[in-house]
């Protein structure tokens, strides 16, 4: 019978599974397979510091010596072609296979490609990995006008970076506000004002209809009834989870590989985590797929515990962040159920939080340059000790007085 753990995917989640297995005392074979040629690295800086200064190098999650000293067989530049459940092994592209007793799928997601004409032109970019960032940086050197399609986190981070590099920037967003699926309306408006203040043109309710080119290269984007000149176009309209390896062997998928609260798939020996996994989120009481570094890391720790025989359900409160120029946006909780919000702090001063409520229950906090509120939210959102809307809005009320018990103490 095969033994050992094979992890497919060298992102934050995959690397953390390997590290957590060793930290939790697992002494069997561990193989980490990554299609990328780089050691597992921090991905958030790709749209910011790395794009501006790639010569500073990637921020590695762990040095090469870590994988050697912890007996992790790290295989870079290697692609898994198929999973053989009956044989308990993964087949590698180019030949060869690796046996497993437990398999962790951490294949992440790929950029969503819009169904518009000429999206394949030279000068159209996506940003998902270090190779993308290197290609994009090379073109930033000569580009004057940058068009960003998509007003989500990646698009706005890239837009802010491009403006810091002195480029002409136009942000095209199909909906009526920026980051509309992720943050409160007050935060959307604040960042709209910021980006316009930094010199970017922001076109809301302007769906991209076509990319225009000459000689095979981008020259403009048709957005609504507006034609926007472009030397390069960066598309950031979301991602598609990489579920193909799982569905090819009959695993259930629904906007991601379906897993239970221990991140176990419909096969008892296979787990899935991170951007490719659809899991039952207890905070909102429904199945979700979250694109979050911290979610992937926390899920990796849950999987490692399950593999070593110390299972615990995944119950972490989700949190996220986005750095745009010198402004830090931090989010904790999920606002899907929110029906009201209150502001704490001064929006006009650029330091405030929006506390979002479902009825009178706090469900999410969006903080702009207000880290203390964010850290408090990570402590209390999973406990009964929540502020009322009135307390949240009242700057004279000490929110720290609510921290009566450790986080994770009493989720219903």
Give me the residue spans of the domains in the chain.
Answer: 5-110+240-307, 115-237, 326-402
12 close to 294: Cβ distance less than 8 angstroms: no
14-23, 49-58, 116-125, 238-247: the lowest-pLDDT one: 49-58
Alpha-carbon gap, residue 376 to 199, rounded angstroms: 34
Instruction: Assign domain 326-402 to its CATH superfamily.
Output: FAD/NAD-linked reductase, C-terminal dimerisation domain (3.30.390.30)
Three-class SS of residue 72?
A: strand
Nearest to 200 by CA among 233, 160, 169: 169
- H-run or E-run covering 332: strand 327-333
Alpha-carbon gap, residue 102 to 6, rounded angstroms: 7
263 close to 102: Cβ distance less than 8 angstroms: no
121-125, 126-130, 381-385: the lowest-pLDDT one: 381-385
Give the pLDDT band of residue 236 (cuts 50, 70, 90). Answer: very high
Question: What CATH number is given for 115-237 in this structure?
Answer: 3.50.50.60
Alpha-carbon gap, residue 331 to 239, rounded angstroms: 20
Per-residue pLDDT for 41 more than 70? Answer: yes
Mean pLDDT across 22-47: 96
pLDDT of residue 407: 44
Mean pLDDT across 295-300: 97
Rounded to the nearest integer, the mean pLDDT of the chain is 94
238-275 per-position pLDDT tens digit? 999 999 999 999 999 999 999 999 999 999 999 999 99
Cα–Cα distances (Å) from 276 to 35, 243, 388, in that order, read: 15, 6, 35
Whether the domain at 5-110+240-307 and the domain at 326-402 fall into the same CATH topology: no
Per-residue pLDDT for 348 more than 80? Answer: yes
pLDDT of residue 154: 94
Per-residue pLDDT for 105 more than 80? Answer: yes
Residue with tokens 């979700």: 288
Give the pLDDT band of residue 412 (cuts 50, 70, 90). Answer: very low
Per-residue pLDDT for 291 more than 50? Answer: yes
Rounded to 5 degrees, φ, ψ at 329 are -105, 125
Rounded to 10 deg, the angle between the 12-23 and 293-307 helix axes is 30
Per-residue pLDDT for 410 more than 90? Answer: no
299-313 per-position pLDDT tens digit? 999 999 999 999 999
134-193 per-position pLDDT tens digit? 999 989 888 999 999 999 999 999 999 999 999 999 999 999 999 998 999 999 999 999
Q: Which residues contact 369 (CB under 8 A, 6 or more apart)?
A: 327, 328, 350, 351, 352
Q: Is the pTM of this model over 0.85?
A: yes
Q: Which residues contact 398 (CB under 8 A, 6 or more apart)?
A: none
Give the pLDDT band of residue 50 (cuts 50, 70, 90). Answer: confident
CATH topology of domain 5-110+240-307: FAD/NAD(P)-binding domain (3.50.50)
350 close to 368: Cβ distance less than 8 angstroms: yes
Three-class SS of residue 87?
A: coil
């Amino acid at each position: 019978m095969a033994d050992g753990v094979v992890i497919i995917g060298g992102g934050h989640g995959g690397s953390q599974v390997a590290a957590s297995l060793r930290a939790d005392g697992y002494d069997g074979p561990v193989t980490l397979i990554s299609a990328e040629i780089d050691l597992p690295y921090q991905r958030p800086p790709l749209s910011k510091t790395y794009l501006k200064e790639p010569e500073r190098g990637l921020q590695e999650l762990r040095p090469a010596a870590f994988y050697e000293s912890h007996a992790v067989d790290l295989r870079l530049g290697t692609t898994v072609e198929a999973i053989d459940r009956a044989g308990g092994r993964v087949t590698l592209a180019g030949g060869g296979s690796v046996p497993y007793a437990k398999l962790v799928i951490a294949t992440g997601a790929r950029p969503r490609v819009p169904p518009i004409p000429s999206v394949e032109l030279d000068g159209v970019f996506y940003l998902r990995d270090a190779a993308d960032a290197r290609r994009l940086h090379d073109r930033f050197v000569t580009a004057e006008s940058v068009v960003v399609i998509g007003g989500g986190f990646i698009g706005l981070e890239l837009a802010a970076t491009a403006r810091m590099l002195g480029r002409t920037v136009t942000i095209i967003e199909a909906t009526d506000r920026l980051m509309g699926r992720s943050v409160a309306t007050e935060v959307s408006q604040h960042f709209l004002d910021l980006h316009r203040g930094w010199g970017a043109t922001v076109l809301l309710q302007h769906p991209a209809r076509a990319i225009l080119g000459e000689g095979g290269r981008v020259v403009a984007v048709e957005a609504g009834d507006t034609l926007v000149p472009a030397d390069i176009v960066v598309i950031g309209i979301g991602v598609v989870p990489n579920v193909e390896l799982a569905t090819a062997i009959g695993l259930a998928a629904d906007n991601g590989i379906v897993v239970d609260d221990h991140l176990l798939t419909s096969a008892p020996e296979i787990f899935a985590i991170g951007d490719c996994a659809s899991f039952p989120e207890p905070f909102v009481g429904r199945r979700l797929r979250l694109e979050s570094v911290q979610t992937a890391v926390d899920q990796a720790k849950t999987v490692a515990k399950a593999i070593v025989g110390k299972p615990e359900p995944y119950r972490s409160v989700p949190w996220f962040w986005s750095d745009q120029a010198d402004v830090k946006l931090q989010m904790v909780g999920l606002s899907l159920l929110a029906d009201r919000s209150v502001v704490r702090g001064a929006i006009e001063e650029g330091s405030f939080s929006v506390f979002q409520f479902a009825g009178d229950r706090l469900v999410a906090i969006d903080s702009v340059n207000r880290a203390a509120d964010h850290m408090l939210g990570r402590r209390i959102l999973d406990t009964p000790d929540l502020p009322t809307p009135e307390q949240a809005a009242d700057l004279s009320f000490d929110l720290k007085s609510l921290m009566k018990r450790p986080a994770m103490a009493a989720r219903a």
